[in-house]
Amino acid sequence: MKVLYVYPKSDTLINRHVTLLTEGLRMSVEISTAEQVGAIRKILREQQPDIIHCHGCPSVSVARTILSALRKGSRLVLTLHGQLEPWAVDSKRNVANAIWQKEFIARAYSVILLGRLERTNFAELGWNSRTEEIHNAVTTNTISRQDMCSATFAVYQKVMDSNTLALMDETTLHMLCTVIKVGIMGERRWATVLPSGHVDWRHILLYAEHENIRNYADYGISLLGYSVPAIDTSHVPAYFPDGYTQPSPIREKIGDYQGKETEYLLKMIAQIRHQPILLHLIELTRELYRDTIDDSRLAEALEEKGLTAFTRSLMQVLGEQTGLDEGYMPLPAVDDRLTNQIRKQLTNHLKI
């Protein structure tokens, strides 16, 4: 794990705090430090840190540099060091600063607050709900240096265990699609067994947990005969975007199947148009493999409901995400702007 500390080195208390972290985490984390924009850009370019840990409220130019790095994959952690406390804010500059500070702070995976009062005051701003309280061993004896470092590392791990889809390389993404396909079909013959040496199984299992498809992933992995780490993903802490709730089966949205296949598929597709999530795509894929489907009747019903264009785009995504075979698609797949919109919604479901 690579972490870049951005902080004002002229601030004595922050400097001492960062020094304690650097010394305490040196065996677990590869740490770099920077203050000015030029040095930050150099480290971002050469080292591509996983996490940027910003201490204090940075200048506009530093904040913009960090935001640019977030678009390239780095993740932001903030420790405010009391710089947004009511008595620390310059009221004359408050309105102007608040505009960019709010945007910057909202992008953080986690905001570390150094005490209960700071946490209470920050919560009143409503800028970011993903907060952790870790006391500062420089200024209080309520926490040891070792415990402060351990708690900070736990935040880093929690950050890296969040939205793991965005962290997957091509090999891991390919394996994810493979285990989903086999988990749906219940037979390994539907996929080629891939080498698993460079697959990040932790990323796959955590993503499956957060999308509530762990049962499909586990079944596919078992059928393919892979040996994977034993991770109780339900107890691994992670951060989520505001408004996130773990996906529930589509029947909880549209009701149980009542024996009318076409009607039920229409309801499923309409629900997915409202909110595309991977679990519902998997459930739709399973339904489409049924031998009882009347494709002609379904195509007519989709046209009547104005769902033809969406369904064609959705079939393209199902082919990519769940491995739905072309012969089981009720309409020809199309790759267009609507298809990209569905892809984006799926990708952004866990994005912070």
Strand ranges across the sheet with 2-6: 30-34, 2-6, 51-55, 75-79, 110-113, 131-133
Q: Taking residues 194-222, what's their average pLDDT? A: 94
Helix residue ranges per DSSP H, 126-200: 145-160, 170-185
Percent over 90 (pLDDT), the chain:
88
What is the rounded CA–CA span in Å between residue 335 and residue 324? Answer: 15
Measured over the CA atoms of residue 187, residue 189, residue 191 and residue 193, the dihedral's sign is positive
pLDDT value, residue 291 = 87
Choose among 36, 162, 33, 63: nearest CA to 110. Answer: 162
pLDDT band at residue 229 using 50, 70 and 90 as cut-offs = very high
Q: Taking residues 139-165, what's their average pLDDT? A: 97
Q: Taking residues 70-96, what's their average pLDDT? A: 80
Q: Which two tokens stand for residue 143?
A: 């926490």
pLDDT value, residue 88 = 67
Please tell me which residue, 2 or 90, carries the higher pLDDT value. 2
Q: In b/e form, how buried is each residue of 199-225, taking b as 16+ CB within 10 angstroms?
A: bbbbbbbbbbbbbbbbebbebbbebbe
pLDDT value, residue 94 = 57
Choose among 86, 74, 142, 149: nearest CA to 112. Answer: 149
Q: Taking residues 207-236, what's their average pLDDT? A: 96
pLDDT value, residue 91 = 52
Strand partners, 236: none
pLDDT value, residue 93 = 53
Largest CA distance in the chain: 73
Domain spans of the chain, in order of start: 2-160, 164-239, 247-352
CB 341 within 8 A of CB 316: no
What is the rounded CA–CA span in Å between residue 206 and residue 186? Answer: 22
Map tokens 């995400």 to a residue.
321
Q: Tell me if residue 206 falls in helix, strand or coil.
A: helix
Q: Which two tokens stand for residue 66?
A: 């960090």
pLDDT value, residue 220 = 96
Q: Taking residues 180-188, what's their average pLDDT? A: 93
**Each residue's pLDDT tens digit, 92-127:** 455 556 778 899 999 999 999 999 999 999 999 999
pLDDT value, residue 195 = 74
Residue 126 DSSP class: T
**Each residue's pLDDT tens digit, 309-343:** 999 999 999 999 999 999 999 999 999 999 999 99
Q: Tell me if residue 188 falls in helix, strand or coil.
A: helix
Q: Which two tokens stand for residue 137?
A: 């061993």
Q: Which two tokens stand for residue 246?
A: 């773990």
pLDDT value, residue 99 = 76
Mean pLDDT of the residues in the chain: 94
Tell me the CA distances in angstroms from 26 to 3, 13, 15, 151, 289, one per residue in order.
11, 20, 16, 14, 53
Please determine, for residue 89, whether its predicted confidence score (pLDDT) is greater than 80.
no
Fold classified for 2-160: Rossmann fold (3.40.50)
Q: How buried is 242 (Cβ within 10 angstroms: 0-12 exposed, 13-18 middle, 19+ buried)?
A: exposed
pLDDT band at residue 263 using 50, 70 and 90 as cut-offs = very high
Determine phi and psi for 285, rounding to 5 degrees.
-60, -45
pLDDT value, residue 92 = 47
Q: How buried is 73 (Cβ within 10 angstroms: 0-12 exposed, 13-18 middle, 19+ buried)?
A: exposed
**Each residue's pLDDT tens digit, 33-66:** 999 999 999 999 999 999 999 999 998 999 999 9
Q: Which two tokens stand for residue 173?
A: 């993404």
pLDDT value, residue 67 = 94
Q: Taking residues 83-97, what's their average pLDDT? A: 65
